[in-house]
A and B are shown apart, each in its own frame.
Chain A
Amino acid sequence: MFHRNPFFRHFAIVAVLLAVSLCASPPKAKAQTTKQSVDIFMGLDLNFKDIHFETQYDFLIRLTPGFKWNMGNHWQLSGQVMFPILNQYGYEYSFFQVNALNISKEFNIKSLYLKATAGAFSHNRYGLDLKAFLPLCEWFAFEGQAGYVGSVYVSPYWEIVAPNRFVGRLGGDIYLSRWNTQLRGVVGKYLYRDIGFEGEALRHFNHTTVSVYGRWSNKFGLDAGFRVVIMLPPYHRKQRVVNFRPASNWRMSYSMMVREYSHQMYRTDPEENERDGWFSRDLLLWGSHTMEPDFIIKEKTKKNETP
Chain B
Amino acid sequence: MKHLNINIIAALMLLWLLPQTGKAQQYTGISGLVHVPSGEMNHEGDAFIGAHFLNKAMTPDTGFIYYGDGEKYHTFDYFVSLTPFSWLELSYVCTERIYRKDAQGHVINWSKDRYASVKIRPLKEGKYHPAITIGGNDVLTAGYLPGHSEVQLYFCNFYAAATKHFTFGGNELGLTLCYRYYLRGYNAKWNGIVGGITFRPAFFPQARLIAEYTGNEFITGLDMLLWQHLRLQASLKDFKHFYGGICLQFNLLGKKYKY
Stretch at the interface among B14-22, B32-40, B82-90, B210-218: B82-90
For the complex, what is the distance from the CA of A206 to the CA of B44, rounded to whole Å?
A: 12
Given contacts A206-B254, A208-B252, A224-B140, contact A54 B85 (CB under 8 A): no
Chain A residues within 8 Å of B82, by CB: 203, 210
Chain B residues within 8 Å of A207, by CB: 252
Contact B253 A206 (CB under 8 A): yes
Q: Which of B85, B99, B112, B253 contacts A50 (CB 8 A)?
A: B112
Contact B114 A212 (CB under 8 A): no
Stretch at the interface among B103-111, B179-187, B194-202, B233-241: B103-111
Contact B114 A53 (CB under 8 A): no
Determine the main DSSP class of B at the interface with A.
strand
Q: Which of A55, A56, A203 contacts B84 (CB 8 A)?
A: A203
Contact A55 B45 (CB under 8 A): no
Contact B85 A205 (CB under 8 A): no
Closest to A212 in B: B90
**From residue B93, how far is it (CB to closest CB) to chain A in Å?**
12
Closest to B141 in A: A256
For the complex, what is the distance from the CA of A54 to the CA of B108, rounded to whole Å?
A: 6
Contact A55 B110 (CB under 8 A): yes
Chain A residues within 8 Å of B99, by CB: 53
For the complex, what is the distance from the CA of A208 to the CA of B45, rounded to whole Å?
A: 10
Q: Which interface residue of B82, B108, B111, B112 has the most chain A CB atoms within 10 A? A: B82
For the complex, what is the distance from the CA of A203 to the CA of B82, rounded to whole Å?
A: 10
CB neighbors of B among A133-184 (8 A): 179, 181
For the complex, what is the distance from the CA of A117 to the CA of B160, rounded to whole Å?
A: 52
Chain B residues within 8 Å of A179, by CB: 85
Does B92 sit at the interface, judged by CB under 8 A? yes
Chain A residues within 8 Å of B112, by CB: 50
Number of interchain pairs (Cβ within 8 Å): 35
Chain A residues within 8 Å of B110, by CB: 53-56
Chain A residues within 8 Å of B85, by CB: 179, 203
Determine the main DSSP class of A at the interface with B.
loop
Closest to A207 in B: B252
Does A226 sit at the interface, judged by CB under 8 A? yes
For the complex, what is the distance from the CA of A179 to the CA of B45, rounded to whole Å?
A: 11
**From residue B197, how far is it (CB to closest CB) to chain A in Å?**
33
Chain A residues within 8 Å of B252, by CB: 205-208, 210
* Count, chain B residues at interface, CB 8 A: 19
Closest to B111 in A: A53
Chain A residues within 8 Å of B116, by CB: 256
For the complex, what is the distance from the CA of A93 to the CA of B109, rounded to whole Å?
A: 25
**From residue B21, how far is it (CB to closest CB) to chain A in Å?**
21
For the complex, what is the distance from the CA of A205 to the CA of B140, rounded to whole Å?
A: 25
> What per-residue 1/0 map shows which CB atoms of B65-85 lie under 8 Å from chain A?
000000000000000001011
Q: Which of B45, B108, B109, B114 contacts A205 (CB 8 A)?
A: B45
For the complex, what is the distance from the CA of A53 to the CA of B112, rounded to whole Å?
A: 9
Given contacts A206-B253, A206-B254, A210-B82, contact A226 B140 (CB under 8 A): no
Closest to A56 in B: B110
CB neighbors of B among A194-218 (8 A): 203, 205-208, 210, 212
Chain B residues within 8 Å of A55, by CB: 110
Chain B residues within 8 Å of A203, by CB: 82, 84-85
Closest to B252 in A: A205
For the complex, what is the distance from the CA of A120 to the CA of B252, rounded to whole Å?
A: 35
Chain A residues within 8 Å of B45, by CB: 205
For the complex, what is the distance from the CA of A81 to the CA of B45, rounded to whole Å?
A: 34
Chain A residues within 8 Å of B84, by CB: 181, 203, 210
**From residue A88, how far is it (CB to closest CB) to chain B in Å?**
15
Closest to B85 in A: A179
> What per-residue 1/0 map shows which CB atoms of B18-56 lie under 8 Å from chain A?
000000000000000000000000000101000000000
For the complex, what is the distance from the CA of A210 to the CA of B82, rounded to whole Å?
A: 9
Contact A53 B92 (CB under 8 A): no
Closest to A254 in B: B92
For the complex, what is the distance from the CA of A203 to the CA of B86, rounded to whole Å?
A: 13
Chain A residues within 8 Å of B108, by CB: 54
Contact A54 B109 (CB under 8 A): yes
**From residue B144, how far is it (CB to closest CB) to chain A in Å?**
11
> What per-residue 1/0 map shows which CB atoms of A44-72 lie under 8 Å from chain B?
00000010011110000000000000000
Pairs A-B, 6 closest by C-beta atoms: A205-B252, A203-B84, A53-B109, A208-B252, A206-B254, A205-B253
Instruction: List 19 A-B pairs, Cβ < 8 Å.
Output: A50-B112, A53-B99, A53-B109, A54-B109, A54-B110, A55-B110, A56-B110, A179-B85, A203-B82, A203-B84, A205-B45, A205-B253, A206-B254, A208-B47, A208-B252, A210-B47, A212-B90, A226-B92, A256-B140
Contacts from A to B (Cβ < 8 Å): 50, 53-56, 179, 181, 203, 205-208, 210, 212, 224, 226, 254, 256
4 extra interface residue pairs, beta carbon distance < 8 Å, beyond A54-B109, A205-B253, A210-B82: A54-B110, A55-B110, A179-B85, A205-B45
Contacts from B to A (Cβ < 8 Å): 45, 47, 82, 84-85, 90, 92, 99, 108-112, 114, 116, 140, 252-254
